[in-house]
């Protein structure tokens, strides 16, 4: 799967989401299956996350993935320059 395929699909609908009052512009996130959740903001993030073994999911699955993750969970952007939810901090999702 390529970045263009997942970002330009006419079959995927995106809603504006906020987490802890931060508007989310990412359309996808990377998840390693336990607690690390990274928002994918561009093609470089996408390619790097995939090459590091992360699965990529549509943003609409973020809240459920967060809820199903272990208690060490956090949400950051891939570049680690933005923290949306720190470990042991509650996450408030708004759509």
List per-residue pLDDT tens for the chain, 95 residues long: 554 555 555 445 556 789 999 999 999 999 999 999 999 999 999 999 999 999 999 999 999 999 999 999 999 999 999 999 999 999 999 97
Count the domains in the chain.
1
Looking up tokens 């006419």, which residue turns up? 10
For residue 37, the model assigns a pLDDT of 98
Range of the domain at 51: 3-94
For residue 87, the model assigns a pLDDT of 96
For residue 4, the model assigns a pLDDT of 53
For residue 15, the model assigns a pLDDT of 63
Looking up tokens 């607690």, which residue turns up? 35
Residue 20 dihedral angles phi and psi, to the nearest 5°: 50, 45
For residue 41, the model assigns a pLDDT of 95
Q: What are the strands of the beta sheet with 22-24, ordered from one edge? A: 22-24, 17-19, 93-94
């Amino acid at each position: 799967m390529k970045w263009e395929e997942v970002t330009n699909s006419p079959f995927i609908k995106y809603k504006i989401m906020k987490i802890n009052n931060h508007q989310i512009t990412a359309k996808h996130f990377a998840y390693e299956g336990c607690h690390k959740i990274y928002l994918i903001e561009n093609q470089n993030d996408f390619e790097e996350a995939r090459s590091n073994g992360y699965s990529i999911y549509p943003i609409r699955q973020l809240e459920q993935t967060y809820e199903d993750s272990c208690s060490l969970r956090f949400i950051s952007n891939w570049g680690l320059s933005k923290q949306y939810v720190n470990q042991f901090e509650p996450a408030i999702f708004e759509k």
